[in-house]
Amino acid sequence: MYGRGIYALRDVSLVVEKGEFVFLTGPSGAGKSTLLRLLLRQEMPSDGKVIVAGRDLARLSPGQAQAYRRNLGFVFQDFKLIPTKTVLENVALVPRVLGATSVQQQRRTYQVLKWLGLQHRMNAYPLELSGGEQQRVAIARALVNEPALVLADEPTGNLDPDLSLEIMDLFRDINARGTTVLVATHDRELMRHVGRRAFSLDHGRLMESA
Amino acid sequence: MRLHAIRYCLEEALASLWRQRWSAGLSVLAIAAALLVLGVFLLVTVNLDRAVARWSAAAEFSVYLRDDIAQDQRAALNAMLEGHPAVASRDYVSKADAARRFARDFPDLAEGLAELPQNPLPASIEVRLRAGRTDSATVDALAQQLRGAAGVADVRFDRRWLERLGGIVKGLAWAGWMLGAVLLTAAILTVATVVRLALHARRDEVDIMQLMGAPIGLLRGPLVAEGLLQGGAGALVALAALYGTYVAVRGRLTEAIGPSLDPGLVGFLPGGLVVLVLVGGMAVGCAGGYVAARQVR
Ligand SMILES: Nc1ncnc2c1ncn2[C@@H]1O[C@H](COP(=O)(O)OP(=O)(O)O)[C@@H](O)[C@H]1O
Ligand SMILES: [Mg+2]
């Protein structure tokens, strides 16, 4: 609930199973980002519960909340890249700071950057990149840790249709390896291409489960 | 925290300090000024303390003899002083010598003294102590021993001015610590403000890292490190300035007193205090950094 009696989400009850690939759709302002923010524990529900892997997010201690977030891959709608760090530093930041300096981790970082066609832009700064490139860096950062759950907020909003389909294939790949994926998008074409379960939100209410 | 995390904190802190070098310089100066004031007080009191200890040992005292002192008592006194390691030399001042000295020092009163039926001035032994070789406890013990000896009327060991000087030194030290504490508190607040500015400049980055699950300690670490580095730099500046002041003052003293200035008399802070100033600066910086870092929750 935001401000005075405005509910961004109401009576939303949905269950996503481990290993599923689910779309969250709906017009702008429907509450898609709000739902994802609840799952990131960036926002707390004024009412109701958000339970991930059997744990109520509201009951996590600050330390547990940070550990929970490290197991998530989150693609922000506004990318949230650090402008003073290069592409490589942005992608490798948290794992490196946490001491994952293993060769395997480095190989993983390069692999993800290559998947997303960023291998030539590794030493560029985010502001030197196009919107589409920045979006791909944001996706690379979300995937580099091989998280158990990936949450993506309009991850193809700045990409051309071909690249969007490629990114969806990438999400499908990682889903095939057991990662649970939740993608918010208003692109029905894209959803049809991937052909997975979709929840539709409108004015903060869950309308259908197609 | 593991090693790479410490390295990360230091690197981030250095980068941030460089970005904000002007305001960071300001808080380095604030810390340096506070520590310099404290350091000057420490330097003055340490040296006065040293001088008091030295003068206490280097003083001389007079042993006044009773008029009816026996020959063997006099011999016992001489033996006591002869073998004592604190005693450099001694002079016997007879009653007649004392009267002559009095007449010389106070010519106006000399006539009155001469008219008295009997010379009232006692004979005495003036004892000069070895400078630097003895501590004041040894000297106190000797004075006490002499005071109790047979045939001794009194031992005059005028240390009141030294005690007063010792009291002044203590007062100075206390004032220095109080003033230092006030200035250091101000320095903590300055560092906190500067680090808060630094946090403000990279707030987005901190928020992003928080959303990516970075532990709180890792987000606060660079801010505390920033304070620590400012404090360390401030302490080094203060110590350099203090040493410069010390060398200059020492040069002036040598000029004024000449080469006869005892080289051991004026010294710099002992190593322990230098380390204390350095660690104190870092602690002050850390405290300021931590005050700012608490905004990251
Ligand atoms: N921080 C906020 N404060 C107040 N209202 C907000 C805030 N964030 C989102 N909203 C409102 O909540 C509703 C859902 O927004 P959002 O979740 O961003 O929708 P979507 O991502 O589907 O476009 C909108 O009406 C939006 O105006
Ligand atoms: Mg949105």
Ordered DSSP codes for B215-245: -HHHHHHHHHHHHHHHHHHHHHHHHHHHHHH
B34, pLDDT greater than 80: yes
Q: In angstroms, rounded to a whole number, what is the distance separating the alpha carbons of residues B165 and B171?
A: 10
Retrieve residue B38's tokens. 């404290």
Instruction: Encode pLDDT of B36-93 as tens digits.
Output: 998 998 888 888 888 777 776 666 778 888 888 888 888 888 888 887 887 888 888 8
Mean pLDDT of A146-157: 90
pLDDT of residue A4: 47
Per DSSP, the three-state class of B100 is helix
pLDDT of residue B158: 65
Enumerate the residues of chain A whose CB falls inside 8 A of the CB of residue B209.
82, 93-94, 97
**Over pLDDT 90: what percentage of chain A?**
33
Burial code (b: 16+ CB inside 10 Å, e: under 16) for B140-170 equals: eebbeebeeeebbeebebebeebeebbeebe
Per DSSP, the three-state class of B68 is coil
Q: In angstroms, rounded to a whole number, what is the distance separating the alpha carbons of residues B183 and A38?
A: 47
Query: What's the pLDDT band for B176 if we cut at 50, 70, 90?
Result: confident
Mean pLDDT of A164-183: 89
pLDDT of residue A105: 77
Question: Among positive and negative, which fits the CA dihedral B195, B196, B202, B208?
Answer: positive
Query: What's the pLDDT band for B7 if we cut at 50, 70, 90?
Result: confident
Q: In angstroms, rounded to a whole number, what is the distance separating the alpha carbons of residues A36 and A182?
A: 9
Retrieve residue B165's tokens. 């000087």
User: Are the CB atoms for A201 and A25 separated by under 8 Å?
Assistant: yes
B161, pLDDT greater than 80: no
Higher pLDDT, A19 or A4: A19
Query: What's the pLDDT band for B17 if we cut at 50, 70, 90?
Result: very high
Rounded distance from Cα A129 to ligand 1 centre (Å): 27
Please give the mean pLDDT across all residues of chain B: 85
Atom of ligand 1 nearest to the CA of A204: 14
The amino acid occupying position A70 is R
Instruction: Report the Cα B216 to chain-centroid distance in Å.
Output: 43
B26, pLDDT greater than 70: yes
Query: What's the pLDDT band for A210 if we cut at 50, 70, 90?
Result: low
Beta carbons of B210 and A71 less than 8 Å apart:
no
Closest CA to B128 of B50, B64, B54, B57: B57
Instruction: Encode pLDDT of B231-270 as tens digits.
Output: 999 999 999 999 999 999 888 887 777 666 566 667 888 8
pLDDT of residue A129: 92
Q: What is the pTM of this model?
A: 0.73
Is the CB of residue A102 less than 8 Å away from at least one CB of chain B? no
Q: In angstroms, rounded to a whole number, what is the distance separating the alpha carbons of residues B30 and B26?
A: 6
Query: What's the pLDDT band for B112 if we cut at 50, 70, 90?
Result: confident
The answer to whether the complex's ipTM is over 0.85 is: yes
The shortest C-alpha distance from B36 to chain A (Å) reads: 37
Higher pLDDT, A80 or B88: A80
Closest CA to B16 of B290, B203, B287: B203
Q: In angstroms, rounded to a whole number, what is the distance separating the alpha carbons of residues B243 and B239?
A: 6
Enumerate the residues of chain A whose CB falls inside 8 A of the CB of residue B202.
84
User: Are the CB atoms for A119 and A91 separated by under 8 Å?
Assistant: no
Closest CA to B17 of B218, B219, B206, B229: B229
A203, pLDDT greater than 80: no
**What residues have CB less than 8 Å from B126, skipping those under 6 apart?**
B60, B61, B62, B63, B90, B91, B93
Length of chain A: 210
Per DSSP, the three-state class of A172 is helix
Measure the CA dihedral A154/A158/A162/A163, to 10°.
-80
Instruction: Encode pLDDT of B197-221 as tens digits.
Output: 989 988 988 999 999 998 888 899 9
A176, pLDDT greater than 50: yes
Query: What's the pLDDT band for A152 if we cut at 50, 70, 90?
Result: very high
Beta strands in chain B (DSSP E): 60-65, 87-93, 124-129, 152-156
**Over pLDDT 90: what percentage of chain B?**
27
Beta carbons of B211 and A141 less than 8 Å apart:
no
Nearest ligand by distance to the CA of A10: 1
Query: What's the pLDDT band for A3 if we cut at 50, 70, 90?
Result: very low
Using alpha carbons only, what angle is made at residue B289 by residues B286 and B290, rounded to the nearest 5 degrees? 85
Lowest mean pLDDT across B123-137, B174-188, B219-233: B123-137
Instruction: Please report the domains of chain A, with CATH numbers, ordered by start residue.
Output: 1-71+153-210 (3.40.50.300), 82-146 (no CATH)
pLDDT of residue B220: 93
Report residues whose beta carbon is within 6 angstroms of any ligand 1 atom. Answer: A 2-3, 8, 26, 28-34
Lowest mean pLDDT across A149-158, B2-11, B137-146: B137-146
Question: Among positive and negative, which fits the CA dihedral B186, B189, B193, B198?
Answer: positive
Is the CB of residue A66 less than 8 Å away from at least one CB of chain B? yes
Query: What's the pLDDT band for A40 if we cut at 50, 70, 90?
Result: very high
Retrieve residue B214's tokens. 């970075």
Enumerate the residues of chain A whose CB falls inside 8 A of the CB of residue B214.
66, 94, 97-98
Q: In angstroms, rounded to a whole number, what is the distance separating the alpha carbons of residues B272 and A210?
A: 76
Instruction: Encode pLDDT of A88-138 as tens digits.
Output: 989 988 776 666 666 777 888 899 999 888 999 999 999 999 888 999 999
Burial class for B134, CB neighbours closer than 10 Å (0-12, 13-18, 19+): buried
Retrieve residue B66's tokens. 């009773």
A183, pLDDT greater than 60: yes
Instruction: Please report the domains of chain B, with CATH numbers, ordered by start residue.
Output: 2-55+163-293 (no CATH), 59-157 (3.30.70.3040)
User: Are the CB atoms for B235 and B32 separated by under 8 Å?
Assistant: yes
A2, pLDDT greater than 60: no
